[in-house]
């Protein structure tokens, strides 16, 4: 029993989960419209985009690296896609090209970090500006219109108040969560972030592991951008500005450690959900919207503090006390 | 400092032997302009515990890094069981049966003992390496067996390594190396940062291993650790091998003078 409890307490998403429960209780007291099915579906509508960003950032953070460029990639991929669509390129190819652009950014981030040896914070800060600039330059200042008559239902079609994209999020989340926890490569990601030197000495190709994670992070960001473009049927080069910080906030609230080696997909999703709930209650309770950033900031601090406290308590629990 | 005596002894030792498990011939290694290994011949017989001693910067760490695949030698050859081998990365060393136990223990603190034993060499139910489905059950049972074999008592293989003491971590590292049935076990300063009690435990482990016939290279700058457990002592200074002697032919004071 104690060991089950201890296992639970050392899960990275435990503090986020506690806050989620607390928030649902408190918010339903603040507004009676909060705890309704309709409201939840409304909250979930824009969730896939930010949650996919958060999952990508989390995977990379587990590997011990960091990506600030996801918000810019979020604009670049759909921009590439829409420009190709305007040239009558088939949808599937245009999407593939958009994702390929994201993959190239991921590879460039990995190259700057792992080959040149820049800290990933600096490398991807550079990429944040460069990729954003690229998205604007290739649009020529006036991005082409999103093709109005294109079938978007397979990606963002309405299902009651939900969008089809939520199922893509769930599918991707399950695949990545299983990959992280059940496969040898997943184990290498945790090992690489947990102690890169040890992982390397034990025969893991840490450069390959980190490069893979940079690419996954970038491609998920590109895909998230494509979902948004599909959903709003429009593209602006400035879309996704600031999303990198929201994604990192979601990842950190979800228990991903800046030092690497700790994090989970469930945490990333709960983190993104918490941010969405805050936004939602501010609207429902007609609170001044300028409090949104304050609330997110406070949640980052509280969740990390709570996580640290829970972990310390769990560490003090000796399994030997079971007998 | 006189190096004549030991060098002569080393040459005679080389001349007698043909049946070395590991033979290094004329190894050189440069780090930029630093000549870290100068024409080093280093041999180990099967079942032997070789103590490798030397002051900081003597080249013993570099020699070990070459043998464990962290760095590749710039010149010279390595023979394992008479066959010339290329050790260009840690995995190549492991595949040849050369396991290294590092002074920093090479463990992931957040991960369980069980996961740490199998890092990079996870057991798979299906799929090739890198795309494999973990076989957690088999890893757990084999981990328990390996830990028991080296006489460690660790409550549960699911405990995170960060909860273990330094000595226990070295115990897990030794269990890990033994699990993969190494031909040669390199222990790189395994007693650094350990308390006296824990040091004795690690030395006991090495004694047990040598009784089981495991070939060990034990590196330390603490001669009191090396002297009693070694079948042979190799001393290095300034990148060169300066002595290759039987522990009975020397004592700690002489060794100290030699390497300092």
At B9, is the pLDDT very low, low, confident or very high (cuts 50, 70, 90)? very low
B211-240 average pLDDT score: 89
**Statement: residue B210 has pLDDT above 90:** no
Q: Residue A319: what pLDDT?
A: 53
What's the gap in Å between the CA of B180 and the closest CA on chain A? Answer: 12
Query: Which residue among A197, A202, A262 sits closest to B120, beta carbon to beta carbon?
Result: A202
What's the gap in Å between the CA of B237 and the closest CA on chain A? Answer: 26
Give contacts of A201 with chain B, Cβ < 8 Å: 68, 70, 90, 100, 102, 106
Residue of A nearest to B173 (CA): A202
Domains, chain A, ranges and CATH? Answer: 2-322 (1.10.3470)
Question: pLDDT of B241-259, one tens digit each?
Answer: 999 988 888 888 888 888 7
Pairing of β A162-163 and β B184-188: unpaired
| Tokens at B242, concatenated | 């300066």
Burial class (CB in 10 A: 0-12, 13-18, 19+), A110: buried
Which residues lie below 8 Å from residue A115, measured CB to CB, with a gap of 6+?
none
Q: Residue A89: what pLDDT?
A: 95
Q: In 3D, which of A29, A27, A56, A19 has the Cα closest to residue A43?
A: A27
Q: Residue B4: what pLDDT?
A: 41
At B226, is the pLDDT very low, low, confident or very high (cuts 50, 70, 90)? confident
Decide if A3 touches B, using CB distance below 8 A: yes
Are residues B127 and B133 in contact, defined by beta-carbon separation less than 8 angstroms?
A: yes
* Distance from C-alpha of A55 to C-alpha of A202, rounded to nearest angstrom: 27
Give contacts of A183 with chain B, Cβ < 8 Å: 127, 131-134
Contact criterion met (CB < 8 Å) for A201 and B134: no
Average predicted confidence (pLDDT) for chain B: 87
Which residues lie below 8 Å from residue A178, measured CB to CB, with a gap of 6+?
none
* Distance from C-alpha of B84 to C-alpha of B80, rounded to nearest angstrom: 6
* Distance from C-alpha of A238 to C-alpha of B146, rounded to nearest angstrom: 57
* Distance from C-alpha of B202 to C-alpha of A275, rounded to nearest angstrom: 50
**Statement: residue B8 has pLDDT above 60:** no
Q: Is A128 helix (H, G, I), strand (E, B) or coil?
A: helix
Q: Is B56 helix (H, G, I), strand (E, B) or coil?
A: coil
* Distance from C-alpha of A284 to C-alpha of A31, rounded to nearest angstrom: 7
Query: Which residue among B68, B100, B134 sits closest to A187, beta carbon to beta carbon?
Result: B134
**Statement: residue B203 has pLDDT above 60:** yes
Contact criterion met (CB < 8 Å) for B133 and A319: no
Interface of A with B in 164-203 (CB under 8 A): 182-185, 187-188, 190-191, 194-195, 197-203
Question: pLDDT of B10-21, one tens digit each?
Answer: 443 443 445 799
Residue of B nearest to A262 (CA): B110
- Dihedral sign computed on CA atoms, order A291, A292, A295, A296: negative
B182-204 average pLDDT score: 86
Are residues B121 and A202 in contact, defined by beta-carbon separation less than 8 angstroms?
A: yes
* Distance from C-alpha of B14 to C-alpha of B37, rounded to nearest angstrom: 19
What's the gap in Å between the CA of A125 and the closest CA on chain B? Answer: 29
Predicted confidence pLDDT, tens digits, chain A (323 residues): 677 787 788 888 888 999 999 999 999 999 999 999 999 999 999 999 999 999 999 999 999 999 999 999 999 999 999 999 999 999 999 999 999 999 999 999 999 999 999 999 999 999 999 999 999 999 988 888 999 889 999 999 998 888 999 999 999 999 999 999 999 999 999 999 999 999 999 999 999 999 999 999 999 999 999 999 999 999 999 999 999 999 999 999 999 999 999 999 999 999 999 999 999 999 999 999 899 989 989 989 998 899 888 888 887 876 544 33
Residue found by looking up tokens 């990545």 in the block: A176
At B1, is the pLDDT very low, low, confident or very high (cuts 50, 70, 90)? very low
Q: What is the length of chain A?
A: 323
At B212, is the pLDDT very low, low, confident or very high (cuts 50, 70, 90)? confident
Longest dimension (CA), chain A: 71
Give contacts of A203 with chain B, Cβ < 8 Å: 89-91, 94, 120-121
Which residues lie below 8 Å from residue A114, measured CB to CB, with a gap of 6+?
A207, A210, A211
What's the gap in Å between the CA of A5 and the closest CA on chain B? Answer: 14
φ, ψ (nearest 5 deg) of residue A191: -65, -45
Q: In 3D, which of A191, A200, A196 has the Cα closest to residue B69?
A: A200
Domains, chain B, ranges and CATH? Answer: 4-259 (3.40.50.300)
What's the gap in Å between the CA of B91 and the closest CA on chain A? Answer: 4
- A211-225, A306-320, B51-65, B93-107, range with greatest mean pLDDT: A211-225
Q: Residue A321: what pLDDT?
A: 42
């Amino acid at each position: 029993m104690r060991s089950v409890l201890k296992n639970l307490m050392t899960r990275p998403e435990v503090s986020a989960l506690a806050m989620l429960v607390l928030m649902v209780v408190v918010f339903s007291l603040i507004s009676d419209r909060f705890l309704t099915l309709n409201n939840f579906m409304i909250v979930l509508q824009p969730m896939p985009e930010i949650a996919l960003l958060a999952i990508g950032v989390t995977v990379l953070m587990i590997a011990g690296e960091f990506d600030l460029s996801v918000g810019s990639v979020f604009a670049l991929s759909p921009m590439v896609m829409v420009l190709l669509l305007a040239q009558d390129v088939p949808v599937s190819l245009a999407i593939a090209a958009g994702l390929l652009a994201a993959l190239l950014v991921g590879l460039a981030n990995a190259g700057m970090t792992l080959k040149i040896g820049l800290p990933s914070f600096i490398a991807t800060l550079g990429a944040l500006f460069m990729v954003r600039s690229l998205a604007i330059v290739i649009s020529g200042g006036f991005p082409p219109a999103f093709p109005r008559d294109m079938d978007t239902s397979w990606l963002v079609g309405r299902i009651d108040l939900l969008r089809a994209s939520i199922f893509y999020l769930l599918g991707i989340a399950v695949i990545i969560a299983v990959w992280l926890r059940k496969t040898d490569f997943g184990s290498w990601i945790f090992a690489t972030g947990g102690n890169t030197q040890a992982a390397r000495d034990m025969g893991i190709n840490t450069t390959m592991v980190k490069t893979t994670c940079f690419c996954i992070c970038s491609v998920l960001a590109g895909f998230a951008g494509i979902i948004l473009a599909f959903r709003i049927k429009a593209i602006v080069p400035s879309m996704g500005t600031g999303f990198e910080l929201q994604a990192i906030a979601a990842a950190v609230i979800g228990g991903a450690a800046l030092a690497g080696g700790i994090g989970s997909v469930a945490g990333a999703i709960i983190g993104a959900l918490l941010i969405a709930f805050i936004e939602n209650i501010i609207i429902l309770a007609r609170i001044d919207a300028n409090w949104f950033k304050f609330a997110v900031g406070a949640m980052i601090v509280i969740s990390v503090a709570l996580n640290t406290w829970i972990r310390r308590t769990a560490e003090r629990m000796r399994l030997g006390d079971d007998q | 400092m006189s190096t004549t005596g030991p060098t002569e002894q080393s040459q005679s030792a080389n001349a007698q032997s043909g049946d070395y498990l590991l033979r290094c011939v004329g190894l050189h290694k440069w780090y930029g302009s630093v000549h870290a290994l100068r024409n080093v011949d280093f041999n180990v017989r099967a079942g032997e515990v070789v103590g490798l001693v030397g002051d900081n910067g003597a080249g013993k760490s570099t020699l070990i890094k070459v043998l464990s695949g962290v760095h590749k030698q710039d010149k010279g050859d390595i023979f394992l069981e008479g066959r010339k081998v290329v050790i260009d990365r840690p995995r190549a060393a492991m595949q040849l049966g050369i396991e290294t136990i590092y002074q920093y223990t090479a463990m992931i603190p957040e991960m369980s003992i069980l996961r740490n034993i199998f890092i990079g060499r996870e057991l798979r139910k299906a799929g090739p390496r890198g795309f494999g489905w973990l076989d957690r059950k088999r890893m757990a049972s084999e981990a328990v067996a390996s830990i028991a074999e080296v006489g460690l008592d660790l409550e549960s293989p699911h405990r995170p390594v960060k909860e273990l003491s330094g000595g226990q971590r070295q115990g897990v590292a030794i269990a890990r190396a033994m699990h993969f049935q190494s031909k040669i076990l390199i222990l790189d300063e395994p007693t650094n940062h350990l308390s006296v009690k824990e040091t004795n435990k690690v030395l006991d482990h090495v004694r047990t291993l040598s009784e089981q016939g495991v070939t060990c290279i034990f590196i330390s700058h603490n001669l009191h650790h090396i002297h009693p457990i070694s079948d042979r002592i190799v001393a290095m200074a300034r990148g060169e091998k300066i002595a290759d002697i039987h522990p009975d032919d020397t004592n700690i004071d002489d060794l100290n003078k030699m390497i300092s």
